Amino acid sequence: MSDTVAIVGRPNVGKSTLFNRLTGRRRAIVEDTPGVTRDRIYGETTWAGRRLSVIDTGGFDPASREPIPALMRAQAEVAVAEADVAILVVDGAAGLTAPDREVYDFLRRSGKPVVVAVNKADRKDVDPSLADFQALGADVLLAISAEHDLGIEALLDAVEARLPPRPPAAAEAPEEGDAAALRLAVIGRPNVGKSSLVNRILGYDRVIVSEVPGTTRDPIDTRFLWNGRPVVLVDTAGIRRRARVEGKLEKVSVVAALKALERCDVAAVVVDAAEGVTDQDQRIGAYAEESGRGVVVVVNKADLLPRGRTARREAEARVRERLRHLAFAPIVFCSAVAGHGVHRVLVAAERVAEAQRRRIPTGQLNRVLAAAVERNEPPFYKNRRLKFYYASQLGVRPPVFAVVTNSPEGVPESYRRYLVNQLREAFDLTGTPVRLVFRPRSRDAGRAAREPSEPAR
């Protein structure tokens, strides 16, 4: 679990510049899925041997027309809910403003450690004594230039000094049996019923093995046995806490989802049956897909849907339509409040976890590949028909397959998807991403290709 620092501040003070400066290319989120806007809000860096997650709280609503105090309040709430330390960025050239002061006071009252970074210190019109900003009464006030890379190390040192003490190594070690445990995260926007679902899952006759203890900032995972198998429910306390207290901020839910995704095998992406799939659900779904974790889509509050199979089928089609990037995931309907279908979430998650770990015997894999290629002839590339000679599995969690072909660069996306779907069906790889790596034919691969049904070594 990495420590988390949140960057807070008025528009235009240089938050994104600082975020980029801190995280460089190691940003977790860069690409866009068509139809889903993704803001770069979450990245990673390392300082003094500690992994630091960095949240740009200003990246949530770049085009927002909300008044600045409301925006900053929302940012500060994210920082309080999800970060260990807040960096308040102020504009050295603009001087101290009322919103700067308000957000500083809010953070201080919440008890969150704050480091104040006076940015744009490279400019001639910035008073190097920072006299203007002394009025805040901050215990750390640093002049920086995010753009020109000045004072960044001192800033990181100041942040590091305010992180909670490192837990003893033993606390970080996985508990016995954790390797075999299914690590399940329940994610989704506020009010879809995550907390109710978690309570249901834990409320039955579960044998709770342990609540891994931690300080207030630590995620608390709950281990229990389900059908005799160990399950770890990731960040149980966080889910309950967020549902109860924190104003149900949508932004917090995205950050929480990103953090939980880091730590799970399978994510239950919860949506609300009555409200349908919203833009925010799509965004969280896109992050889940990108993470490479297994996914189960949970349509909660199914008690609010009209009864009958047709209504159910229609609802499912609507969810599928709006969550196209999660087409590989099974959909489970449930009602956390009524207690219906909750066990099916666990059944589906368990199946997905098994699929992630599945090793396919090479002979079977190649029979399925050959049949798929025969059924749907590959296209031409540069006047030659694509040929697929041989496949082998490179790894699990998620399953990765190498496919030897006459032109790796010529395999169109549509054909790649076709092959993935054929493998998915043949080997029941529902819910897990499946990666294909196309490779050119080497002499070894050529030899193997002549013996396609050679059994796995």
**Going by DSSP bridges, is the β-strand pair 85-91/229-233 parallel, antiparallel, or unpaired?**
unpaired
Among 13, 76, 201, 345, contact with ligand GDP (rule: CB under 6 A): 13
Give rounded-to-5 percent helix, strand, coil for the chain: 40, 25, 35
Which residues, at least 6 apart from 112, have a Cβ–Cβ distance to it below 8 Å? 79, 80, 83, 85, 86
State the minimum distance, in angstroms, from the CB of residue 64 to ligand GDP: 11
Identity of the residue, 56 or 401, whose beta carbon is nearer to ligand GDP in the bound complex: 56
Among 23, 119, 392, 405, contact with ligand GDP (rule: CB under 6 A): 119
The phi, psi pair for 331, rounded to 5°, reads -110, 130
Give the binding range for ligand GDP (CB under 6 A) out of 45-53, 188-196, 204-212, 389-397. Answer: 188-196
Identity of the residue, 13 or 136, whose beta carbon is nearer to ligand GDP in the bound complex: 13
Among 4, 5, 6, 15, contact with ligand GDP (rule: CB under 6 A): 15
Taking CB under 6 A as the criterion, which residues in 365-424 touch ligand GDP? none
Q: Does 9 engage in binding with ligand GDP (CB under 6 A)?
A: yes
Q: How far apart are CA 96 and CA 101, in angstroms?
A: 7
CB 272 within 8 A of CB 301: yes
Helices (H), 83-130: 98-110
Identity of the residue, 248 or 313, whose beta carbon is nearer to ligand GDP in the bound complex: 248
Give the binding range for ligand GDP (CB under 6 A) out of 68-76, 192-200, 230-238, 438-446. Answer: 192-200
Give the binding range for ligand GDP (CB under 6 A) out of 13-21, 33-41, 71-79, 399-407. Answer: 13-21
Among 44, 61, 102, 122, contact with ligand GDP (rule: CB under 6 A): 122
Neighbouring C-beta atoms of residue 134, cutoff 10 Å: 11
Give the binding range for ligand GDP (CB under 6 A) out of 80-88, 118-126, 204-212, 213-221. Answer: 118-126
State the minimum distance, in angstroms, from the CB of residue 89 to ligand GDP: 6
CB 201 within 8 A of CB 233: yes
Taking CB under 6 A as the criterion, which residues in 306-345 touch ligand GDP? 335-337
Taking CB under 6 A as the criterion, which residues in 241-260 touch ligand GDP? 243, 248
Identity of the residue, 139 or 149, whose beta carbon is nearer to ligand GDP in the bound complex: 149
**Going by DSSP bridges, is the β-strand pair 266-272/294-300 parallel, antiparallel, or unpaired?**
parallel
Q: How far apart are CA 374 and CA 345, in angstroms?
A: 37
State the minimum distance, in angstroms, from the CB of residue 299 to ligand GDP: 10
State the minimum distance, in angstroms, from the CB of residue 193 to ligand GDP: 3
Q: How far apart are CA 383 and CA 400, in angstroms?
A: 29
Q: How far apart are CA 45 and CA 55, in angstroms?
A: 11
Q: Does 145 engage in binding with ligand GDP (CB under 6 A)?
A: yes
Query: CA gyration radius for the chain?
Result: 25
State the minimum distance, in angstroms, from the CB of residue 144 to ligand GDP: 7
State the minimum distance, in angstroms, from the CB of residue 171 to ligand GDP: 27
Nearest to 229 by CA among 199, 270, 188, 265: 265
Helices (H), 162-308: 169-172, 194-203, 236-244, 250-262, 279-291
Give 218's DSSP letter. S
State the minimum distance, in angstroms, from the CB of residue 18 to ligand GDP: 7
Q: Which residues bind ligand GDP (CB under 6 A)?
A: 9, 11-17, 58, 119-120, 122-123, 145-148, 188, 190-196, 243, 248, 300-301, 303-304, 335-337
